[in-house]
Structure 1
Amino acid sequence: MKKINLTPPSLAAFSLLIGLMFAGIAIASDSHDAPAPAATATPASKPKAVSGSADDEMSKALMNKISKGSGDIVIRTGDLPAGTAAAEAKTAEAKPKAAAKMNKSSEKEAADAHGVHWSYIDGPGGPENWGNLSKDNLACLKGKTQSPININVDRAVKAELPPIEFLYRPSSLSIVDNGHTVMVNYGEGSNLIVDGRQYRLVQFHFHKPSEEAINGERTDMVVHLVHQHHDGSLAVVGVLMSTKNSPVARKFWFGDEPAKGNPLIQTLWNNIPLVKNKTEMPGVMIDVNQMLPSDRSYFTYMGSLTTPPCSENVLWFVMKNPISVSEDQVKNFDRIYPMNARPLQPKGDRLIKETKGN
């Protein structure tokens, strides 16, 4: 037998040749694992363990495609071992599912909040939940000087209060049913002056029954006249409306004469738009002075808006004497808004002042 001497260069070449032979065997093989000795073949019924990362398995599948000469090289999940495909699918789905699970509650709450609008009816949008509908409404829930309140006459401080100067002038009617009440946007040039501060009349709107209570009793309706100072602060005048004549308006000792309708109220009701949230300007002139009582004595306190966002630091003036409206006028508003008054809020330690001697 002839002895072969392998020099280092020959040995390197021989090693490369052996490596290529085994590489050819690996490429030709249809298995993703290293070939096993013939004597210890793995039974077909026993599933093969998947080893290595998903990238290793993808490389082996690619080599298998090349060895078969299958044309365009496209790796599909079907080309990968079952364990690898499942593992990759599980990994791909894990993050979205986890994120969806984490955000499920917050998304539901957001959807509920955006889908529910505030109202006066008990439920998700009711007064007890106004503060939960938006972060802008937190004052409705956590405010300490909220309106409306019950005015206990016996607990009000009698004081020499400055008279309210109502410098109102006629305005062209601009009226809208905003889905919560009937509101009139008033023209510029009408102002209220009290204690040296001037507020411009911006708009007025109605509630049924009156939101304010006097000694625990609410009247049939109330009109809120909303004013704004040039610094942005607000002053609201509440004029109570009643179908019962005041004692000074009674003409017969044996009974009450039915209250007459208010002419301005009738003009407004005649021009309520047929479509909600659509402002109508019918070319009619109105004078808000027609909704002021002849006796201008009042209660005053610090409170808030009575609708969301329930902003506080609002200066309130509640006229002590109501104006008269007819039952038909109240019934007509009732046909649109049977009840649009916020529940009474805690008075707390707030001070209520009352015009002295009235």
Structure 2
Amino acid sequence: MRVLGGISLAVLCLVVFAAEETVAVDNYEPHEVTPDHMDQTGEHDGQYYYASKHPDQDAGDATERMGEVNRSRGSPGQTGKHDGQYYYTSKRSDQDAGSATEGMDESLTGVSHSSGRTDQTGEDYDQYATFASRTSESVGSPLIGNRLLCPDVGKTCFRYNRNSRLRPECWAGLDSHILIDGPGDREFPLNSCCDPSGNFQSPINIHATRRLERSRDSLKYDQDEVEGYLQNNGVYYKYVVSGRKPILTGAPNQEGVGYFLDSVHFHIGKRGDRRQTEHLIYGKSYSAEAHIVHHRQDYEDLEAASAHPDGLLVISVMFELRNENSNTYNHIFKHFEEVRRYTASDFDNVCTLENRRLAALELAGIINPEEECVNAVSYHQTDNCGLMKSEPGCGEHITGIKVNPRFLLPNIPRYYYYEGGLTSPPCSEAVLWLVGERPKMISQSTVDLLYQMETRIRKTELGDYGNLRPLQKRRGRSIRHIQFE
């Protein structure tokens, strides 16, 4: 790993990032599920979903040739409007069953989302960095085969605020002066795997085939109790296994291979938004989402595993609002109040430089300005508050929390399986995802504590902007619906 200097750094500074254009949200409208829609959405539960006003146009998209990625560049479609979105189209409707909802992100939740930008000449630019063409010849791509694989060797300050210069649309360019050793004796920028043109990005809107596979394997851990500590790392509450790590077996296509349980962390949306989970299941959001993170047992640790296509296994557990919490998760939830405040030192906070800048803007009377993406530099001093590899030194933490890992999983072993990536930088496409079909319980008081968590950005709580990455394109990936033993 090295840092760009001289001409290379100057070249990076010339990158053009472009003006936001809001997706035409009015192409989609909420409707309550009725019996007429049950064949498309499943059981009627009174939830609101989003459907296109132009089904004929959506159906037309599916007739284009397999693998083609089209972008409208000013020419109106049947709606008469240019929406600047990418659509991945396939001749096989069962393979891309969710094409009508892919890439809408906040359109699914009634919130506008940035897409393309144009300069003064009217030419349309891709907002996301294509680093190999903008830096020196020594800089390559993290693409290995058809995947973007970025080992997590750095810690980056990023944000979820859609006005910020560090928002999700900017992640691929953050800390791009840090180069990582890649294939072919070439190097690539630290977070370039966050480029949404990747084939295996996450999260997504789950649309699986209707056929339910029945696996002869069962998902099971080799021990019934683990001990760990709970911390607030400024991005989410995180439970980290500190003792012996149990091994999970039974993952699809991984016969004879186990995955170590490393941690559990939690995601939630902005207060008042309809979307409150990273993944959607047939367009539906739940009240919160947990990610149970594992790394393959024959890789040294999470960082090493994140550079391999099957290196990580993440089980997604949805939560539905009820009067009480799930019993096992309550062992973790009941300590949220104790770590709600972000108590890590400035030395441990990678966002210290950003916080100083925001304080200066506030003194000038500038609050939450709309900003262009920049190749910002993080304040990387320690690993204490890293997202992948973290230490108890990230502020106050609660130790000695014991849980049975088996009861962290959904009660009914039915999952949606697909291959994807991490949902936060470095966004490495190294994750086997198992998204649980059935939710567990969470109380309103626990949801409130999620919203009230102080983040590593000054004067910001988690509920102000949430910690959900925009929905990513499915790009022809198959999604299997599996019931384990």
**What TM-score, normalized by structure 1, do the two folds share?**
0.61
**Residue of 435, 444, 447 corresponding to 1:330:** 447
Letter in 2 for 1:188: R
Cα 1:290–1:307 change in 2 (3 A) is same
State the Cα deviation string for residues 283-325 of structure 1 (Å, max 9, x = none). 3433344432221111100000111000013111111111001
Larger Rg: 1
Find the counterpart in structure 2 of residue 221 from structure 1: 288
Residues 1:304 and 2:359 are matched in the alignment: no
Higher relative contact order (CA 8 A, sep 6+): 2
- Corresponding residue number in structure 1 for 2:193: 139
- The whole-number CA distance in structure 2 between the counterparts of 1:282 and 1:180 is 19
Matched, 1:124 2:156: no
Distance in 1 between residues matched to 2:169 and 2:234, nearest whole Å: 19
- Secondary structure (helix, strand or coil) at the match of 2:425 reads coil
1:191-202 to structure 2, matched below 5 A, reads 191-194=247-250, 195-202=255-262
Deviations 1:24-81 (Å, cap 9, x if unpaired)? xxxxxxxxxxxxxxxxxxxxxxxxxxxxxxxxxxxxxxxxxxxxxxxxxxxxxxxxxx
SS of the aligned residue for 1:283 comes to strand
Note the C-alpha offset of 1:198.
0.4
> How do 1:69-84 residues align onto structure 2 when only pairs under 5 Å count?
none
Percent identical pairs in the alignment equals 26
> What is the root-mean-square deviation of aligned Cα atoms in Å?
3.1
Pick aligned residue for 1:159 from 191, 200, 213 = 213
Q: 1:90-142 CA distances to partner (integer Å, 9 max, x unpaired)?
A: xxxxxxxxxx9997675687xxxx9x821111121111110011322111114
Gaps of 5+ in 2: 1-5, 16-153, 177-188, 269-275, 300-304, 306-310, 345-393, 454-461
Distance across 2 between alignment mates of 1:108 and 1:283: 50
Q: Residue in 1 aligned with 2:229?
A: 174
| Secondary structure of residue in 2 paired with 1:243 | strand
Partner of 2:246: 190
1:226 maps to a residue whose letter is: V
1:327 Cα deviation (Å)? 0.9
Q: 1:180-230 CA deviation, whole Å, 9 max, x = no partner? A: 111111132312101432000011100002211001111111110110112
**Aligned partner of residue 449 in structure 2, secondary structure:** helix
Tell me, in whole angstroms, the C-alpha distance in 2 between the residues paired with 1:321 and 1:224: 14
Amino acid at match of 2:258: Q
Residues 250-305 of structure 1: per-residue CA shift (max 9 Å, x gap): xxxxxxxx344642243331442641432524334333444322211111000001
Once the two structures are superposed, the pairs formed by residues 236-255 of structure 1 within 5 Å of their partners are 236-244=314-322
The separation in 1 between residues aligned to 2:169 and 2:240, in whole angstroms, is: 29
Do the aligned partners of 1:156 and 1:353 also contact (CA within 8 Å) in 2?
no
Q: Which residue of 2 aligns with 1:91?
A: none
Flag the 1:103–1:152 CA change in 2: closer, same or farther, 3 A.
closer
How many residues are matched? 243
Q: 2 CA distance for matches of 1:305 and 1:353? A: 19
In 2, Cα distance between equivalents of 1:168 and 1:346: 37
Match for residue 345 of structure 1? Answer: 472
Q: Is the 8 A contact 2:239 2:332 kept in 1?
A: no
Separation (CA, whole Å) in 2 of partners of 1:350 and 1:129: 25
Determine the structure 1 residue equivalent to 2:266. Answer: 206
Whole-Å separation in 1 of the counterparts to 2:8 and 2:333: 56
Q: Contact 1:157–1:352 (CA<8 Å) still a contact in 2? A: no
Helix, strand or coil at the partner of 1:121 = coil
Kept after mapping to 2: 8 A contact 1:175/1:273:
no
The letter for the 2-side match of 1:206 is F
- Alpha-carbon contact 1:237-1:317 (below 8 Å) kept: yes
Aligned CA distance change for structure 1 residues 178 and 241 (closer, same or farther; 3 Å): same
Shift in CA distance, 138/102, structure 1 to aligned 2, threshold 3 Å: closer
Give the equivalent residue in structure 1 for 2:336. Answer: 269
Give the TM-score of the pair, scaled to structure 2: 0.46
Instruction: Give the letter for the 2:198 counterpart.
Output: G
